[in-house]
Structure 1
Amino acid sequence: MSLFNVYPLYDITPVSAKDMYVYDDKNVKYLDLYGGHAVISIGHSHPKYVNAISRQVEKLGFYSNAIQNPLQVELADKLEQLSGCKDYHLFLCNSGAEANENALKLASFHNKKKKILAFKNSFHGRTSAAVAATDNPKIVAPINAQQEVDFVELGELKTVETILKQNLTCAVIVEFIQGVGGLDQSTTEFYQGLEKLCKQYNTALIADEVQSGFGRTGDFFAFQKHNITPDIISIAKGMGNGFPIGGILIHPSIEASFGLLGTTFGGNHLACAATLSVLEVLEDEKLMENAINISYYFQEKAKALPSLKSIKGRGLMMGLEFEFPISELRKKLIFDHHIFTGSAKNPNLLRILPPLTIQEKHIDLFFEALKQELNEK
C-alpha cells in the first residue's frame, strides 16, 4: 500500500532530535527554527518531558472519559495559574482543528445562532466548520462550503457590526497574530472594539491561540496584550511539545451539560502528562521571558538584512518579508546551511517558529546563513 500523496516532501528523514537540533538518517545536523509548525515549545526530547511520558505510560497510558482522571484536574489548575485565565473551564481534545470545531459548535449551542464571522487570510483547521472559517477555497470541499461564513478584512470594525447586527452570527473567530496567513495582526483598538461588538450582539468571541498560545508571543496568550476577555480560547500545537493534544478554555458564562461535547482520546493520561511537563518547563526555565529577549535580539539583527521589506509577528512567532518569493531561499537554507524555516500564504514571507529554548547563538547562525544567501542573489 502506498501513502496518499498530499504532502510535497523534502528529501530529509529525521531519526532523532535534541533541543534545537534535528538529526537525519545520514547524521546531518539541522537547526530547527520552525519547530514542526510551532509544535516544539520546550525543545526536542526535553528530559523532563521524556521522563513524564515514560513514567506515565508505565502506569496507565489511556482510559476513556467515562472515569475520573485527576491529571485533567491538575492540568486545568496549572493552566489557570500560568495563563492567568481565572475561572475558565477546560475541555480537552486532540488537535487545533478539533479545538476550533468544538469552539464553534459550543458557541452555536450557547446562543442558538449558526453563522460564523472570520477574517481574510485566516487559518483555523481542516475539519468541517474550522475549514469553512479558513480563508482558502482550495481546501474547502463542497460539504464544508455548506457552512455559512462571512469573511471580513482584519481591522474592519464597521463591516463586523453590519454583519453582527443581523443577529445570525454565533461566533467571531480570530487569530490575534495570523499564522499561515502571514503574521498579520491588528491594533488593540480593533480587538477591544471586536469584543465590545460581540457582547453587544450576543456573539461568542473565539480567540484562536492554537499557534500563538503557550508562551510563544512572550505572553501566555497573544490576546493578552490587548486586555480583552474572549468567550472561548482554542489551544493545541505547543501545549504537548509533539504529543497530540488540543483544548478549549471556556468562559464561565457558557454552561456545560452532559453530552454537550465529547471525545474518545482527548485528555488522555499521556497527553495530560506531556502538557503538565511543558507547563513545568515553561515556568522553571522562564521561557516566556526568553521569547521576549530573543525576539528583540532577532529584530535587531534583521534590520541589517538587504532586500527586507518588513519584520512581522511578535515574540517567537516571527516573519521576515522580502521583496521576492522565498521558496528557493528556504531550500538553500535547508540543503546548504541545514536550517529549517517555514513559509506562509504570503509567498514572500519566511516564518520563524523555533522552540522557546532558542539562544542568541542560534539566531547568529541563522543570520550568517541568510546574509550569505542574500548577498549572492
Structure 2
Amino acid sequence: MPLFDVYPLYDVTPVSGKDIYVYDEQGTEYLDLYGGHAVISIGHAHPNYVEAITNQVSKLGFYSNAVQNPIQQELADKIESLSGCKGYNLFLCNSGAEANENALKLASFKTGKSRVIAFKNSFHGRTSAAVAATDNPNIIAPINAQQKVTILELNDILGVKAELEKGDVCAVIVEFIQGVGGLDEGSSDFFEQVFALCQKNNTFFIADEVQSGYGRSGKFFAFQHYNVTPDIISIAKGMGNGFPIGGILIHPDIEAKYGMLGTTFGGNHLACAAGLAVLNTIEEGHLIDNVNAMSAYFIEKARAMPEIKKIKGRGLMLGLEFDFEVGALRKKLIYEYNIFTGGSSNKKLLRILPPLTIQKEHIDQFFNALKNAVDI
C-alpha cells in the first residue's frame, strides 16, 4: 500500500539521534537545527527522557481518563512551578492543533459567541476551527471555511477594536512569535491593547504557545515578554520531545463542567512520563538560561554576515532573512554540509529551531557552513 503523497521529502533517512545530531542509515551525522518543527526541546534520546519512558511503558502505558492518574497531577504541578502560571488548570490532549481546537471551543462555550479573530500569516493547526484560524487558504477545505474567522494585520489595533465591538467574537488567538508565518511579531503596545480590549468585550485572549513555549523564546512562554494574562494558553511541540502530547492552560476564573472537553489518548501515562522528563531536564539543565546565552551568541554571529539582511525572532526561535529564496540553500546545507534547517511561508527566511541544549561549537559549525554555502 503506498503512502498518501502529501509531503515533499528530502532524500535523508534518519535512524538514530543523540542530543543535537541525527544519523542516517549509513552513519552520516547531521546537525539538527530544526528539531522536527521545534519538537525536540531537550535533545534526541536524552538519557533522562529514555529512562522515564522505558520505566513507564514497562509498568503501564495507557489507561483512559475514567480512572485516577496521579502522573497528570504531577505534570500539572511541574508546569505551574516552572512556568509561573499560578492557579491555571490543565487539560491534556495530543497535539497543538487539538490544543487550539479545545481552546477555541472552550472560548465559544463560555462566551456564547462564535467568531474568532486571528492574524495574517498565522498558523494554528489543521483541525476544524484551528485551520480556519490559519492564514493559508490552500489548507482550508470548504467544511473548515464554514467557521466564522476574521483575519487582521498584526498591529492593526483599530481593526481589532472595531471587530470586537460588533459583539460576536468569542476569542482572539495570537502567536506572539509567528512560526510557519515567518517569525513576525506584533508590538508590545499592540498585544497589551488587544488583551485590554478582550477583557472589555467579553472575549477570550488565547496565547498559542505551541511552538514558542517551553523556554524557546528565552522565557517559559513568549507571552511573558509582555504585560498580558491569557485566558487560555495552548502548548504542544517541545512539551514531549517527540512524544505526542499537548494541552491547554485554563485561567482559574473559567469553570469546568463534566463532558465539556474530552479525549481518549490525551494525558495517558506514557505521555505524562515523557512530559515530566522534559520539564525536569529543562529545570536541572538550566536550559532556559542556555537559550538566552546561545541566542545572544547566534545573533552576534549572524550580524557579522552581510548576506543576512534581517534577524527575526527571539531565544532559539530565530529566522535569518536573505534577499533571495532559501529553498536551494536549505538543500545545499543538508546535502553538502549535513545540517537541517527550516523554511516558512516567507520564502527568503531560513528558520532555526534547534534543541535547547545547543552549544557554541554547534553554532560555529553552522555559520562556517553557511558562509561557504552562500558564497556562490
The Cα shift of 1:155 comes to: 0.7
| Structure 1 position 112 matched with structure 2 position 118 | no
Range moving further from structure 2, 205-214 or 186-195: 186-195
8 Å CA contact 1:118–1:150 kept in 2: the answer is yes
Q: Secondary structure at the match of 1:230?
A: coil
Which residue of structure 1 aligns with residue 88 of structure 2?
88
| Structure 1 position 150 matched with structure 2 position 146 | no
Q: Following the alignment from structure 1 to structure 2, what is the Cα–Cα distance between the partners of residues 205 and 126?
A: 20
Which residue of structure 2 aligns with residue 2 of structure 1?
2
Which residue of structure 1 aligns with residue 219 of structure 2?
219
Q: Which runs of 5+ in 1 are unaligned?
A: none
Which residue of structure 1 aligns with residue 364 of structure 2?
364
The Cα shift of 1:375 comes to: 1.7
Which residue of structure 2 aligns with residue 340 of structure 1?
340
Which residue of structure 2 aligns with residue 139 of structure 1?
139
Q: Following the alignment from structure 1 to structure 2, what is the Cα–Cα distance between the partners of residues 163 and 216?
A: 32
The Cα shift of 1:227 comes to: 2.2
**Aligned runs of 1:28-107 on 2, under 5 Å?**
28-107=28-107
The Cα shift of 1:228 comes to: 1.1
Q: Following the alignment from structure 1 to structure 2, what is the Cα–Cα distance between the partners of residues 307 and 338?
A: 21
| Structure 1 position 208 matched with structure 2 position 208 | yes
Q: Following the alignment from structure 2 to structure 1, what is the Cα–Cα distance between the partners of residues 289 and 218?
A: 6
> In the TM superposition, what whole-angstrom CA distance separates every residue of 1:30-65 from its partner, at most 9, and x where no partner exists?
000000000000000000000000000011000000
Q: Which runs of 5+ in 2 are unaligned?
A: none
**Aligned runs of 1:162-241 on 2, under 5 Å?**
162-241=162-241
Which residue of structure 2 aligns with residue 292 of structure 1?
292
Q: Secondary structure at the match of 1:271?
A: helix
Range moving further from structure 2, 157-166 or 298-307: 298-307
The Cα shift of 1:306 comes to: 2.8
> In the TM superposition, what whole-angstrom CA distance separates every residue of 1:118-143 from its partner, at most 9, and x where no partner exists?
00000000000000000000000000
> In the TM superposition, what whole-angstrom CA distance separates every residue of 1:218-275 from its partner, at most 9, and x where no partner exists?
1000000102100000000000000000000000111100000000000000000000
Q: Following the alignment from structure 1 to structure 2, what is the Cα–Cα distance between the partners of residues 304 and 214?
A: 29
Q: Secondary structure at the match of 1:313?
A: strand
Q: Following the alignment from structure 1 to structure 2, what is the Cα–Cα distance between the partners of residues 120 and 184?
A: 10
Q: Following the alignment from structure 1 to structure 2, what is the Cα–Cα distance between the partners of residues 4 and 246?
A: 25
The Cα shift of 1:307 comes to: 2.2
TM-score (ref. length: structure 1)? 0.99
The Cα shift of 1:172 comes to: 0.2
Aligned structure 1 segments of 4 or more residues deviating by more than 4 angstroms: none
8 Å CA contact 1:173–1:207 kept in 2: the answer is yes
| Structure 1 position 23 matched with structure 2 position 23 | yes
Which residue of structure 2 aligns with residue 277 of structure 1?
277
TM-score (ref. length: structure 2)? 1.00
The Cα shift of 1:186 comes to: 1.4
Q: CA RMSD in A?
A: 0.5
Q: Following the alignment from structure 1 to structure 2, what is the Cα–Cα distance between the partners of residues 39 and 277?
A: 14
8 Å CA contact 1:169–1:203 kept in 2: the answer is yes
* Identical columns (%): 68
The Cα shift of 1:309 comes to: 1.3
> In the TM superposition, what whole-angstrom CA distance separates every residue of 1:349-369 from its partner, at most 9, and x where no partner exists?
000000000000000000000
Q: Following the alignment from structure 2 to structure 1, what is the Cα–Cα distance between the partners of residues 370 and 17?
A: 23
Q: Secondary structure at the match of 2:356?
A: coil
Q: Following the alignment from structure 1 to structure 2, what is the Cα–Cα distance between the partners of residues 75 and 361?
A: 33
Which residue of structure 1 aligns with residue 252 of structure 2?
252
Q: Following the alignment from structure 1 to structure 2, what is the Cα–Cα distance between the partners of residues 166 and 187?
A: 24
**One-letter amino acid of the counterpart of residue 279, structure 1:** L
Which residue of structure 2 aligns with residue 261 of structure 1?
261
Which residue of structure 2 aligns with residue 314 of structure 1?
314
